[in-house]
A and B are shown apart, each in its own frame.
Chain A
């Protein structure tokens, strides 16, 4: 056992709660301090999801992944800032102030795992856990210039992750190197009977940079008109590097991309409207007024406790599931989701992985995006992987206007190892 101590200077506002020391033990993560996104339950450590409605909440149990990282010898540094309940692309929707991007402190770090990304990018921690529902690990990884992986749905237990959209979200690793991502995947994966969607598929793999003969598909839709031309150019340079390392680049088409974003936002808001119904001040968080009636009390508690974007998404989901509208929105979204899944299955019969930009732009300025719909549109390149449940990684591949750009690699279900290999090949190729 050794005691790790952590400097308390949090100039980027990456943390909501910071510990001043932690015990580490033997294991794969021995001596390594780790930051945990604040929607992952940590016994006895405040867990807020960056929301006032959970302020002061001390979970009575550890999430499965927290048990795993502790067992592997890691010390928990603290709980990182995020968009409230995971709803956002910039970490500006936090009740505890925005996190600043270490690459440029006038800019957002991305979201919703912005705190975890900033903690890693700035060197405060070597590794962090994030969660990815529609890009929330990959976006901040791209904007901050680090590596972030969204595992295949089911490979990492969601037990203890405070749910936003349970059919879409996964906990995943964030670090500065692909090797550290791989190491964390060894710790995080594996069957957990407490998660009914958990799959028995542990990860035990040393990244292999040999990609000769690998077929990389590049969908036209990933370089469409919404993508900033300079970002597109930097990412193409990255894909060309993979070609020089022996891969074949094959352009392809993904027609379901036209519906992917709408399918994502209908699905996640619908699931959120159900998942966030539990926040009423009765069991956790600032208490509801028990002298009032049920509805009066809950309406007031939720009016005061939730931020604007959370209210908006709960209401969108309530509407999409309501009688008379269910067929038009939710049912159609599931049909579109199946089309996205089928497009990937079709493409993966011809290619081994798919590559493209992680985000259509570099990091926005803090306060720049005020219109919710234009914020949603920036998720267009990341949501397909969540809809389909496939693994997807973002690895830094250069800069545009001095700001980091991420290269995204996606693979077939349960081929996280292959996706990580390609990211590793790229990372090794860049450093040569």
Chain B
């Protein structure tokens, strides 16, 4: 069971604004879904076995990438070839 305060905290972690009026409904639905997830408690923890997977890396050779002007094309918030972002401080 999570409380409205918990849901508000999760929304903060996820950087999603939730209006106070929406909080009650969100919390109710959240709890219904989490109740359903409880069935996973019955699952035995898997033991970690070996794997035959291999990492896929390419050689460290510089290749073409997107031209900077195309990368910046989808925003008006740009300056000197940089994206302008909200204040960190």
Interfacial residues, chain A to chain B (CB-CB below 8 A) = 56-58, 60-61, 193, 196, 258-259, 261-263, 265-266, 273, 277, 280, 282-285, 287-300, 302-304, 306, 311-312, 314-316, 318-320, 322, 328-329, 331-336, 338-339, 371-373, 376
Contacts and interface: CB of A to CB of B under 8 A. Distances in A.
B40 A319 contact: no
B10 interface: yes
Contact of B87 (A56, A261, A294, A331): A294
Contact of B39 (A262, A299, A303, A335): A262
A75 to B, nearest CB: 24
Given A262-B37, A283-B83, A338 B26 contact: no
11 contacts: A283-B83, A289-B86, A290-B77, A292-B87, A294-B88, A300-B17, A311-B16, A318-B14, A335-B43, A373-B32, A376-B33
B29 interface: yes
Contact of B18 (A280, A290, A293, A303): A303
B10 A318 contact: yes
Given A303-B18, A335-B46, A322 B13 contact: yes
B5 to A, nearest CB: 13
A162 B13 CA distance: 22
B73 interface: yes
A311 B19 CA distance: 12
A373 B83 contact: no
Nearest to A261: B36
Residue with the greatest number of chain B CB neighbours at <10 A, chosen from A262, A280, A288: A262
Interface in B49-88: 56, 58, 66, 70-71, 73-77, 83-88
Contacts of B7: 315
A430 B6 CA distance: 54
B85 A288 contact: yes
Nearest to B88: A294
B21 interface: no
Given A266-B40, A315-B14, A331 B45 contact: yes
Interface residues of B, number: 45
B70 A335 contact: no
Interface of B: 2, 7, 10-19, 26, 29-30, 32-34, 36-37, 39-46, 56, 58, 66, 70-71, 73-77, 83-89
A84 B52 CA distance: 36
Contacts of A280: 15
A335 B43 CA distance: 7
Contacts of B17: 299-300, 302-304
A345 B83 CA distance: 48
Given A315-B30, A322-B10, A306 B16 contact: yes
Contacts of A328: 40-41
A277 B13 CA distance: 11
B85 A299 contact: no
Given A295-B15, A302-B16, A315-B30, A258 B39 contact: yes
A222 B26 CA distance: 32
Contacts of A289: 86
B74 A283 contact: yes
A162 to B, nearest CB: 13
Contacts of A265: 33, 36-37
Contacts of A303: 16-19
A167 to B, nearest CB: 13
